[in-house]
A and B are shown apart, each in its own frame.
Chain A
Amino acid sequence: MLKLFYNAAKQRSLSQATTSASLIRNSQRMFRSSAQMNQQFNVYIDGRPVKVDASYTIFQACQEAGYHILSLISYIESRFLDSAIMKDYQLPATAECAQSKQKDLQNQQITQPLITLQLAACATNVRPDLKVITKSEKTRIARGGVMEFLLANHPLDCPICDQGGECDLQDISTVYGYQEGRFMEYKRAVEDKNIGPLIKTSMTRCIHCTRCVRFTEQIAGEFTLGQVGRGKYNEISTYIENMVTNELSGNVVDLCPVGALNNLPYSFQARPWELKSNYTVDVMDGLGSNIDVHIRGSDTLRILPRINEEVNEEWISDKSRHAFDGLRKQRLHIPLLRKPDGSFGELTWEEALNKAAEVLSSVKGDEIHGMIGQFNDVESMLAFKDLLNRLNCDNVDVRKNAPHFKADFRNQYLSNSRIIGIDETDLLLLVGCNPRLEAPVLNARIRKAVGVNGLQVGIIGSATNLGYDYVHLGNSPKTLQELAEGKHPYLQQRLAKAELPMILVSAQTLERSDGEGIMNYIYKLAENTKLINKKEKWNGINILHTEASRVGALDLGIVPQTNVTKKPKVVYILGQDNFRHEEIPEDAFVIYQGHTGDEGAYYADLILPGASYLEKSALFVNTDGRPQQSRGAQQPPGFAREDWMILRALSEQLGCPLPYDSLDEIRTRMAELAPHLVRFDVIEPSGFEELGLKAEESKLKLNNTALTDNIDNFYQTDSISRNSMIMARCTKELNPKKQFNFKEHVQTWMTH
């Protein structure tokens, strides 16, 4: 036995680097290379030999062999594999194992007879030369027995249960269960809990797999759910009545194998077999989470996450999941023109385009101002830019107060170490960035890195509850200045020692008047640290964008024009709602093209109805520069049309037709400007660190004001979520203090 272990250790040491220094370095960031190799040996699944790692369970070995045990474990298993905190439900599938009790070391004859055991496959590790029999009468009976225990207290209300059709327990009982139930005793009943406006509970159905508890504790970082009572009286509960206030709380609905936790807004709406799924991309934050939009007829009924390990893993935030009902409210569905008395009259498309062309051609090119909103796709922005350029107008931007990036190199505005860089980094510095509110899914990834890789997090900005431990360095950008100038002890103690440090700045923080200064101090900080580690091909300077259109706009070269001083006579707003009032002159003619009648529409003289993100097949670029294709799940309402088509039609009226008529042709044009945009799901690596990320001494100016939270109310930040009833309910129940902060003047008006 000892010899065996010695051999294994020898094997292991050979497979890795031999010098002690590199061994230490490797052990510090083992996650960068592949997982640590343990002892490898053969096990026999139904007589078939499979080579497995010593850390595997029998369940995993079966999966490796291609035999999938349908069980409650399969969902979360792979996620917790490396963190070794897996404690899962005893699966109903057990494997019958025939194992040689002892086998001598020189591969000689078996000295003792075989013994046969019934083992829980998910809870038992593999052993050398283990023989697993998956199909036998004894195993079948054992599985049925576990199934009977699971169903003992589970109500038989499948016909009225929302999980019906996508229930793990239904599937398992179909495959493994007995034909008839023998349980004639009374079933227990459990009181339902109120845990918030997004999750509906029917706790009688709960089978205590504790996935929800483990999700909230280990992934979301919130300790509200837990188990109360013992034996028959065991309940999943919040102990004292409490709500799950986390921004990722909607995910426990997906995790729940039975109908105990349900999607409340979706409850009793549909059955899974009525739904049609549409794979598309989310735009509620800069992350570009991959989503699955479920529709029935023309109704969008729910949004589920799609697995993309490099973007959102398998989670989405509550806003991404539930805000889509804002698209049913206050829609712009027909072209409108403001009359002299302030009211709006309806137009046909022909009249509307003629009016727009008349207005745009009546002024000079430099008297037009184009504004681009946060939900715009790359196609519409490209058509917008092309159209205004043909009118000799170059004054196109994404908001006046947006950060003034130089878009010469891509690394000046991207998250350079990418989202997966969080798994690799060993020190993360957040500057004016609250990832919990700005990108909750990213925050879950940071929390995972803190727990699994021992990531150190430092914060310059407001010290909020992020769900993990961090070092709070200071409240103002002055701390950043001290760090960059080498005066702060954190630099010598931690930051300078880190191999692959990473800095994360919110794009909204860079909207401050000293945004340029903050960025330059970060470049200066990179000179003293390994933020840009050429040896490891590592660039740790990251900007977290919160607007889905921003990176696409910068990739197309739509840069904020700071030099334009002439007062615009025509303002063309492409779906922008979060602007400042002084950006639009009072006497200007305003054309608003968008999908929702929010802030921007009240300023408009002419409204052209466009399509929302669920209604167009287009391209979005996320914060780490990954172009992703979205696919329209439904039709735009009424007379609304896709945005780039409207601009194409308008160009015809203006007498300067844009040279593309189809999606393929506009993407060909896109490839002329930025070829990487048409390589979907591929991040184009950006070099030129010396040229792009260089501090300029003249711009090292900072304000003394504190870095505050950029988002007051996570649930209502944009035109879609402001119109969403579910998000309004969330605000009321989960964030009551911030209920009206996002629109203070409207509140004043209402009380007046």
Chain B
Amino acid sequence: MRSWGQSVGLLGPKFWAIYRKEGFTRALLRGKIYKPTHEKGGYEDELVRLVGTDEFGNRYYEDFNHHNKNTRRWIEYADYNKWFMTPKKIAPGWHGWLHYTYDDPPKKDNFVEPAYRPHRTVVFKTDHPNAYKNPGHLLNDNRAEYLERTKARKYTPWEPPTGSEPKDGKKIVVQKKDPLGQVVEELD
């Protein structure tokens, strides 16, 4: 029978099975009870098969005994337990496998890397000082300007003439002056 504590019991038979295959830390981590059911290691009390890992260190699992067949494949990211987790990208070959496009895990003979792959590689800048910050972000340099623009989107008030400007007065009076400062023509 399946129960919460026993599925991967500490120092139980399943623990040692994982320890032998994946090491001590992995065996401890996979015993965590707050993991989602399907990640904990299968619907039944048996060990779920690690199908493989990709170049980023992500691990791919498959469990055919799972009650929902559309969630039978899953990924554990390489940095699952770090403080600042970043979703590392999934290798293109494994992506297809994970989304049930094909059933065989990618190997050299059944998967050809697309030619465009290197060009489209994204550099993840999360937690990096140069990372993208949205315009209203507290740390964005142009935040003040953005807030001003947001206000101007509603309306900007009329800028009435102040006393200091030459154009002020009762009317807009324009004077044309020659180089000596004599008023040649007065337009209104």
Residues in chain A within 8 A of chain B (CB atoms) = 298-299, 327-334, 336, 339, 341-344, 581, 586, 596-597, 601-603, 637-638, 745-746, 748-749, 752
Contacts and interface: CB of A to CB of B under 8 A. Distances in A.
A334 B157 contact: yes
A741 B157 CA distance: 26
Interface string B74-98: 0000000000000000000000000
A603 B171 contact: yes
B174 interface: yes
A333 B172 CA distance: 22
23 contacts: A299-B154, A328-B155, A330-B156, A330-B159, A332-B157, A332-B158, A333-B157, A342-B162, A343-B160, A343-B163, A586-B170, A597-B158, A602-B171, A603-B170, A603-B171, A637-B154, A745-B174, A746-B172, A748-B176, A749-B172, A752-B174, A752-B175, A752-B177
Contacts of A746: 172
A581 B161 contact: no
Nearest to A325: B153
Contacts of A334: 157
Contacts of A344: 160-161
A299 B153 contact: yes
Given A597-B159, A637-B155, 12 more contacts: A299-B153, A299-B154, A331-B156, A342-B168, A586-B170, A596-B158, A597-B160, A602-B161, A637-B154, A745-B187, A749-B167, A752-B175
A428 to B, nearest CB: 40
Nearest to A586: B170
B169 A342 contact: yes
Most buried by A among B155, B158, B170: B158
B30 to A, nearest CB: 37
5 nearest A-B residue pairs (beta carbon): A597-B158, A341-B163, A344-B160, A342-B168, A343-B163
B112 interface: no
A298 B151 CA distance: 12
Contacts of B163: 339, 341-343
B174 A343 contact: no
A343 B160 CA distance: 7
A332 B177 CA distance: 34
A602 B174 contact: no
B154 A336 contact: no
Contacts, number: 76
B122 to A, nearest CB: 17
B188 interface: yes
B152 interface: yes
A421 B35 CA distance: 76
Nearest to A336: B160
A327 B160 CA distance: 17
Interface string B134-171: 00000000000000000011111111111100011111
B153 A581 contact: no
Nearest to B156: A329
Contacts of A752: 174-177
Contacts of B159: 330, 597
A699 B153 CA distance: 53
B63 to A, nearest CB: 27
Contacts of A581: 171, 188
Contacts of A586: 170-171
Nearest to B169: A342
Contacts of B157: 330-334, 637-638
A298 B169 contact: no
A334 B156 CA distance: 12
A586 to B, nearest CB: 6
A299 B155 CA distance: 9
A402 B157 CA distance: 31
Nearest to A637: B155
A603 B172 CA distance: 8
Contacts of B175: 752
B158 A330 contact: yes
Contact of B168 (A343, A597, A601): A343
B187 A601 contact: no
Contacts of A745: 172, 174, 187-188
A327 B169 CA distance: 26
Contacts of B170: 342, 586, 603
Contacts of A749: 167, 172, 174
A538 B172 CA distance: 49
B45 to A, nearest CB: 38
Most buried by A among B152, B160, B172, B176: B160
A581 B171 CA distance: 9
B26 to A, nearest CB: 38
A289 B81 CA distance: 63
